[in-house]
Amino acid sequence: MWGLYSVPAWAPLLHKDHDFASNGFIVNNPYAEWYYNVSRIPGSPTEAYNREHYGAAHNYYDFATEFNKRASHWDADKMAAIVQQTGAKYVVFCAKFHDGYLLWPSAVPNPNQRNITATRDLVGDMKVAMEKRGVRLGLYYSGGFDWTFNRGPIERNEDYEATKPETVAYGRYADAQIEELITRYHPAVLWNDIDWPRTGHPLQLMADYYNAVPDGLVDDRFTPGRPPAETHSDFQTAEYTSLKQISLRKWEANRGVGQSFGYNRAEGEADTISARDLIHLFVDIVSKNGNLLLDVGPEADGTIPAIQLSRIRALGDWMHVNSEAIYATTPWSRSSGESDQGIDVRFTRKGPNLYAILLDKPHGSTILLRGIHPAPSSAIALLGNATPLAWTQRGDDIEVQLPPQLPDQYAYTLRLTLP
């Protein structure tokens, strides 16, 4: 995520568990994009940091001057090239976060605050750059919170509901902005956050969206106000968590490379998912019918920090060899398995092919995969290796002869044919 919060770019590292409902999480919020909210909580680490670096009287929205200056140098094509290398087929770009600051030149006036719009059409530049690389652009919009309409701050659990803007003015404002985003950018995904104001019209927005983008997708966070409510979605979302089993319904796990969505300059190696864990998480999600929406938090000038860049490049390198086992696949009858070497296995399927993804480097000349019955004529192959592998059915298991030397990877994919 990228916005005004990318200028201070700081959050404490005291509460790494993403237990959103706890008051301890709110006061020590590790999400740097929540800087405006948490900096107004007396006694919070962010309030102390803000006072020390910017002064007690500093206005958060004054960060706009620095943000616009630095964002003017952003190289959208460079970012698109990085995204393309990862193998991503779509991105979701933040058009408006909870602070209400807009990253496109909206013609919808904010009745409460002036100068709330970036001076550069960052959304438009992102769309052009991504589409040149064959990557589709989705848009994130915070419908449930807008701190220019209800400033809060959120200090404890019960404040979440109390801080949601529910005025008629806000419903009209949010509706009009989504309509504007649809008309101007035709986003591949409408990714709303929190929920939608009860004074808005989410189903009408969705109808207009599908008419404009027939193959578009809508997330599951448009529920107006508190449920039960009439709503619709194309996929469900899971934030900083995953599912334990296959979901028949398509879903998407979303998380940052670190503990935050916005850039947090305090994060280091210990706070950033390792390349190994990232690839294993990704494979696990796909095996359960999910997508991974992996967030990078750029610096104020749009540069992806080196530590985040190293992780997504590692994922891209792995995808360069193994994407066949990811793109256009479906879950198998089970998502996971095991081997005689204690290596966890994840499965995906495409047509007659089953992909067994080993979540560690095998040792020895063979590996036994349990509970698999390939077609007798199946030619088993290791992705990235052109030579078919000899194999033997041993009861309910198969024993596969491995290549004499395996490259160093975080996961290895065997392709075989099912009966």
pLDDT tens for 279-328 read 999 999 999 999 999 999 999 999 999 999 999 999 999 999 999 999 99
| Residue 350 confidence class, pLDDT cut points 50, 70, 90 | very high
- How far is residue 189's CA from residue 102's CA, in Å, rounded to a whole number? 18
Bond prior to 202 in cis (omega within 30° of 0): no
Cα→Cα distances 118→3, 121, 130, 179, 260, Å:
9, 7, 20, 19, 22
Measured CA to CA, the distance from residue 36 to residue 308 in angstroms comes to 23
**What pLDDT, on the 0 to 100 scale, is given for residue 383?**
97
Residue 396 scores a pLDDT above 70: yes
Give the C-alpha distances (Å, rounded to integers) separating 243 from 236, 237, 253, 282. Answer: 11, 10, 9, 12
* Threshold 0.75, pTM exceeds: yes
Report whether pLDDT(205) > 60: yes
Burial class (CB in 10 A: 0-12, 13-18, 19+), 279: buried
Tens-digit pLDDT profile for residues 143-182: 999 999 999 999 999 999 999 999 999 999 999 999 999 9
The answer, yes or no, to whether residue 14 has pLDDT greater than 70, is yes
Instruction: Output helix, strand, coil percentages for the chain, rounded to the nearest 5.
Output: 30, 20, 50
Per-residue model confidence as pLDDT tens digits over 219-239? 999 987 655 566 899 999 999
CA dist., res. 144 & res. 192, Å (int): 8
249: burial class by Cβ within 10 Å (0-12, 13-18, 19+)? exposed
Q: How does DSSP classify residue 267?
A: -
C-alpha dihedral (208, 210, 212, 214), degrees to nearest 10: -170
Q: How confident is the model at residue 15 (pLDDT cuts 50, 70, 90)?
A: confident
DSSP class per residue in 130-175 = HHHTT-EEEEEEE-S--TTTS-----STTHHHHTS---HHHHHHHH
Domains of the chain: 70-325 (3.20.20.80), 336-417 (2.60.40.1180)
Check if the beta carbon of residue 353 is closer than 8 Å to that of residue 416.
Answer: yes
| Cα 69 to Cα 118: distance, rounded to the nearest angstrom | 10
Task: Output the six-digit token pair for 278.
Answer: 């990232």
pLDDT digits 0-9 by tens, 27-45: 999 999 999 999 999 999 9
